[in-house]
Structure 1
Amino acid sequence: MNRTLRPSDIAKQLGISTSSLRNYEARGIVPPAGRAPNGYRVYTYEHAAYFECIVAMSPGFGMEITSAVLSMLQRRELGAALWMINDAQAATHEDKLVLEKAVELLEQIVSDKGGNANWMTIGEMSAAASIPASTLRYWEDKGLISSTRNETNNYRLYDKFQAVKVWLLKSTQKTVYSGDTVRLKQSIGKLPSGDLQALQSLIELARNALLQRNREQLRGLHSLYRLCTVLTL
């Protein structure tokens, strides 16, 4: 178990560069490497397990959580690390519930229960979706959602079609940043008002992205368990 490994071998196995290994070490995500007589870094199987965990966990949990968890493991704070992972998985489940709300609203529009008339003020939408009004205004300024204005008080009004878009956008707030997330937001912004078929397609894209996040988190947990085994935690 104490056999040393070359950085190039670890990097090749994980499909990353040796500079990435050095960067992770410099950030304190993995323990410091030993040094050979010639000054070159030498890693152990423990280091390899840390690096594997970074590569496996970061797609599903993001680098911020991954870094925090691995730093806790170096301090042998397994309990705190597991609770942080638990919170991240709970957030994924919350996003599933958010998407279910979007589906429910879309079904109401399709079945014409209440139609798609102006439905909520910005304050009501903020309270219903647990999103700050400032975020709704920001999304509107960016062209992601739109509203009409109350003729009496000029308050913003959102119909159910826009409400579905709000819940869709909410489901992306806790996701790990990726090109897919950016493209989903762009598609939400470009969606023609009233195009229910296109809206349904975006919901399916969001569902698939959430399923992929779940899979990536499972893969990350597998590597985390292996690392904990190596560390005898």
Structure 2
Amino acid sequence: MRQNLQTVERLRPVDLAREHGLSTQAIRNYEEAGILPAAGRTPHGYRTYTPLHAAALRAFLALVPGHGHRTATSIMCALNRGADDEAFRLIDESHAQLLDDRRTLQAVESALHDLEPTAAPEPGDMFIGLLAEALGIRPATLRKWERAGLVRPRRDPLTGYRVYDEADVRDARLAHQLRRGGYLLEQIAPLIAQVRSAGGLEPLEAALGDWRARLSARGRAMLTGAAELEPYLRELPRHRQPISS
């Protein structure tokens, strides 16, 4: 069991750094950034830390994998200046973002599943009217999707009509499924971009397992961060200076 954080034990910057394989300059940088509480000073001006600082460092480093460096920094800075509600809001927002990312993954998986069963593949090149009819939407909707970057049809050099090739048809079908799932155009655009960069639906589908694993890793990292943050939260109020009236 870790010792009580109120102990009078004094630690040097190197003592904090050595536990995590950091440099003493990194410890000073974390203090200056507000991630660690302000250090004490010896009569000669050298920094001195306590187990409370060690707990703050452990909490911060545990928060980073799940929340990211910037958010973890903001959480620790808020706690160290007594803005607990702000810190908890930041933590809640990270969890909400993870849930939103998980829902996005589920939407993509569902859309890909719905795209699989087709009676017959559409022809390689389609004009706007034929594609709109195949999807059960209006041509105006396809033009709107084009302005949003969801589809990128070429123009027939003779007629100027929009021509949708196989990749455009694929993107339109995926966009249609995601729209039916309630996703906004600005949410769909980056997903379509991922399909294009992956080289199609099959490579993207193969990448979904890795995406799911990364989301699970973030979730577990958040649990680890919370476990390390708890002892720091428990002791921090005892070390805060009372606010003078």
Q: Secondary structure at the match of 2:68?
A: helix
State yes or no: 1:159 paired with 2:164: no
State yes or no: 1:46 paired with 2:64: no
State yes or no: 1:101 paired with 2:107: yes
Q: Secondary structure at the match of 1:159?
A: helix
Which residue does 2:14 correspond to in 1?
8
Which residue does 1:75 correspond to in 2?
81
> What are the residue-to-residue correspondences of 1:61-72 with 2, within 5 Å?
61-72=67-78
Q: Aligned partners of 1:232 and 1:39: how far apart in 2? A: 26
Task: Give the unaligned 5+ runs of structure 2.
Answer: 1-6, 124-130, 136-140, 179-186, 239-245
Contact 2:17 2:27 in 1 (8 A): yes
1:148 to 153, 169, 175: 153
State yes or no: 1:36 paired with 2:49: no
Cα-to-partner distance string for 1:185-214 (whole Å, 9 max, x where unaligned)? 7xx6552335x2x22211111111111111
Q: Aligned partners of 2:53 and 2:161: how far apart in 1? A: 63
TM superposition shift of 1:116? 7.2
Q: Aligned partners of 2:146 and 2:110: how far apart in 1? A: 15
TM superposition shift of 1:122? 7.0
Task: Give the unaligned 5+ runs of structure 1.
Answer: 127-132, 138-145, 171-184
2:231 to 217, 226, 233: 226
Q: Secondary structure at the match of 2:35?
A: coil
Q: Aligned partners of 1:206 and 1:94: how far apart in 2? A: 13
Indicate how the Cα distance of structure 1 residues 212 and 109 shifts in structure 2: closer, same or farther if over 3 A, else same.
same
Report sequence identity in percent: 25
State yes or no: 1:212 paired with 2:217: yes
> What are the residue-to-residue correspondences of 1:166-177 with 2, within 5 Å?
169=190
Q: Secondary structure at the match of 1:32?
A: coil
Q: Aligned partners of 2:24 and 2:175: how far apart in 1? A: 47
TM superposition shift of 1:106? 0.8
Q: Aligned partners of 1:159 and 1:73: how far apart in 2? A: 47
Taking structure 1 as the reference length, what is the TM-score of the superposition? 0.71
Indicate how the Cα distance of structure 1 residues 164 and 5 shifts in structure 2: closer, same or farther if over 3 A, else same.
farther
Indicate how the Cα distance of structure 1 residues 105 and 75 shifts in structure 2: closer, same or farther if over 3 A, else same.
same
TM superposition shift of 1:70? 1.3
Contact 1:109 1:115 in 2 (8 A): no
State yes or no: 1:193 paired with 2:200: yes
Q: Secondary structure at the match of 1:226?
A: helix
Q: Count residues with an aligned counterpart.
A: 199
Q: Aligned partners of 1:125 and 1:32: how far apart in 2? A: 54
Contact 2:114 2:177 in 1 (8 A): no
Q: Aligned partners of 1:22 and 1:161: how far apart in 2? A: 50
Structure label with greater radius of gyration: 2
Q: Aligned partners of 2:143 and 2:25: how far apart in 1? A: 48
TM superposition shift of 1:115? 6.2
